[in-house]
Amino acid sequence: MRNLLIAFGVISGIFFASCTQKSTSKSAEEEAYVATEDASNFVVITEVVPDAILEIRYYSTYNFVGARIDGYLEPTALLTRQAADSLKVVSDELKAQGYRLKIYDAYRPQMGVDHFMRWGNDINDTLMKPYFYPDVPRDSLFDLGYIARRSGHSRGSTVDLTLFDMNTEKEVDMGGTFDWFGYESHPDFGGNPETGEYTGICNSPSGRTITAEQFENRMILRRAMLRHGFKPYDEEWWHFTLINEPYPDTYFTFPVKQL
C-alpha cells in the first residue's frame, strides 16, 4: 500500500473520561503528529486469535451515535501485529479458564474519529442518550472530556473487549455496558483494581452499584491483559493498550476491512 505520510496539527479522537476530567488543552491538540494509510504491519485479529468473537459496534447502529461509523467498511477488527500476538497469549490463558475474548473495537481510522467529532457538535442528536449517557448533559460531552481530539485506537494497538463464558454461552456480566459514559465504567468503581479488592464503594450520581461478582469479572479480564503486556485505562474497564506499542506517534487513516 502506498504510504501517505503527512504532518498534521490536530487529529480527532474519542475517549471516555471521568466527569471531573478537564478537556484536552489547546497546546496538546495542536501537537504535531504523523498520519499514514500504510496497513502493512496490521493483521485481522481473528487470523491471529481465531477464538475471538467480534461484535463490532461501530459497524452497527448499536453504539452511542446510533449509526454506522465512517470508515468501518466491514465487521472486522484490526490490530498491529505486535498487539495481536500479545492478545493471542491473553486469549490462550483465558480459554483455559473457560472464557473467550469478545472484541467491540480495535483499530479506529481517522474518518471514524471525525465522525465522532461531528456527532459531538450536534447537540440535538440524543437518539442513544438513554442507552449510553443518560446522566450526562448532551451539550457537556466536550467540556467533561468524553470527546477529545485524539484516539489511541488510531495508533493500532488499542482494543476494547470483554469476556464470553463458554459454559453459559453468554457474555460475562461486567456490571455495565461498553461505551457507557460515566463513573460506572471506571475500573475502580466498586473496588480497588490494583489489589483486586471489592469494596462496594461506588461514586455513581444515580446510585448505581456493582456486585462483588461483577467487579471480579472485570478483574479477571484486567489481570490477564496486564500480565501480557497491556496497560489499562482509568475510565474504561474494557479499554487496553499495548505498553510497547510500535507506533506511539503515528495515527493511521485506512478503513476497517479485511486486509
> Each residue's pLDDT tens digit in the chain (259 positions)?
434 443 333 333 443 333 333 333 333 443 567 889 999 999 999 999 999 999 999 999 999 999 999 999 999 999 999 999 999 999 999 999 999 999 999 999 989 999 999 999 999 999 999 999 999 998 888 887 778 777 999 999 999 999 999 999 999 999 999 999 999 999 999 999 999 999 999 989 899 999 999 999 999 999 999 999 999 999 999 999 999 999 999 999 999 999 9
- Structure confidence at residue 32 (pLDDT): 66
Question: CA–CA separation, 74 vs 55, rounded Å?
Answer: 11
Strands 158-165 and 99-105, by their bridges, are antiparallel
Count of structural domains, the chain: 1
Does residue 115 fall inside a structural domain? yes
Look-up: residue for cell 463464558?
165
What is the extent of the structural domain holding 181?
Answer: 6-252
Does residue 258 fall inside a structural domain? no
Does residue 1 fall inside a structural domain? no
Does residue 217 fall inside a structural domain? yes
Does residue 183 fall inside a structural domain? yes
Question: CA–CA separation, 174 vs 96, rounded Å?
Answer: 20
* Active-site residue, from 55, 184, 236, 245: 236
Instruction: At 224, list the grid cell.
Output: 490477564
Does residue 90 fall inside a structural domain? yes
Question: Is 236 among the residues known to form the active site?
Answer: yes
Does residue 121 fall inside a structural domain? yes
Does residue 257 fall inside a structural domain? no
Report the CATH number at residue 49: 3.30.1380.10
pTM of the model: 0.87
